[in-house]
Amino acid sequence: MRMKIIGTGSALPRTRVDNGQMAEWVDTTDAWIRERTGIGERRLSTGETVVSLGTEACLKALEQAGIGAEEVDLILLATCTPEYLFPCGACQIQAAIGAVHAAAYDINAACSGFVFGLNAAQAYIRAGVYRRILVVGSEVLSKVADWSDRSTCVLFGDGAGAVLAQAREDGESRMLSSIQGADGTKGMVLNCRSRMMMNPLFQENPEEADTMYLTMDGREVYCFAVRQVAVCIAQVLEKAGLTPEEVGLFILHQANVRIIEAVARNLGVDIGRFPMNLERVGNMSSASIPVLLDELNREGRLHRGDRIVLSGFGGGLTYGACVLVW
């Protein structure tokens, strides 16, 4: 059984925030943000949620595929910024779209989450467990960003993307290979704490409350990304029996234009084959890849038979990639 993506969708909050506005909130400049990251503006939530954005993205993917929500077997939501610890966001999206026959659960692999979700969908489909799976990446990072820390808050944006993956017995479209990994020993270089322990027997130091926002050692993450993503893509291509020249597009997690350029250089691939949208939307963690995929799809830049590499990396630390025949 092969996995074919038959619909894509995305949703962004309505409010744009450019670097000039950021400079009013923290000590930064448009020039610094553009030079160091490639980001020009991002969308920030003024009430949109992981569930509302994810729901909109899913409905667009279903509409494009011409499939009713009740025909979906599983919803996998990649997010690290859920509104609730439980019910999970995937169950809330299931209710919102009326996917009455679908199982649903969340995946937290930070910025690698969407690729991990797609890899899981492929495994379910190949094993014959499910036939139609919505894989969603949805984040409202502005709710965990530290708005007094200029080194992190300027990087992130909110948004959601989704694909509908379907089992097919024939046709060229499929996933050729996948790879994923983690290095938990370096997890704290990019972290955001959950709730503190405050039970009747044990209370954590209230000063720890400061750590309940996103913190990052940018340099460490940068070095990890440049090194690991190139290795990971080389490995996933080798598994598929392909060389970089045989791939049409490399769709990477949109964290930083310099990371993407370094990966392209390491692979010896022209940067023109690495589409980017981070100038307009910033780093949306697990939503970055599916939003870009949807934009490319709707612009008619993906053609059946094209070979595409997806690769995500981030908190965990996690990394993953897959090769698709579109």
Interface with ligand UT7 (CB under 6 A): 28, 32-33, 36-37, 111, 150-151, 154, 190, 218-219, 221-222, 225, 255-256, 259, 283, 285, 314
Cα(56)–Cα(325) distance, rounded to whole angstroms?
26
Taking the complex as a whole, the smallest distance from the CB of residue 160 to ligand UT7 amounts, in Å, to 16
Residue 142 · residue 158 · CB < 8 Å: yes
Catalytic annotation on 283?
yes
Residue 216 Cβ vs ligand UT7, minimum distance, rounded to whole Å: 6
Report in angstroms how near the CB of residue 187 gets to ligand UT7 at its nearest: 13
**Which residue among 88, 108, 253, 256 is the active-site one?**
253
List, edge to edge, every strand of the sheet that includes 307-314: 174-182, 318-325, 307-314, 249-252
Instruction: Name the catalytic one among 19, 119, 256, 283.
Output: 283
Active site residue: 58, 91, 111, 192, which one? Answer: 111
Give whole-number Cα distances, 309 to 198, 273, 326, in Å. Answer: 45, 10, 10
Tokens encoding 90: 């995937």
Compare residues 26 and 123 and give the one whose CB is closer to ligand UT7: 26
Is-catalytic flag, 266? no
88 is catalytic: no
Q: What's the chain's length in residues?
A: 326
The residue sitting closest to ligand UT7, measured at its beta carbon, is 218
Q: Which residue has the tokens 């649903």?
A: 104
Per the listing, tokens 């923290």 go with 26
At 304, the amino acid letter reads R
CB of residue 103 to ligand UT7, shortest distance in Å = 28
| Residue closer to ligand UT7 (CB basis): 32 or 105 | 32
Radius of gyration of the chain (CA): 19
Active-site positions read 111, 253, 283
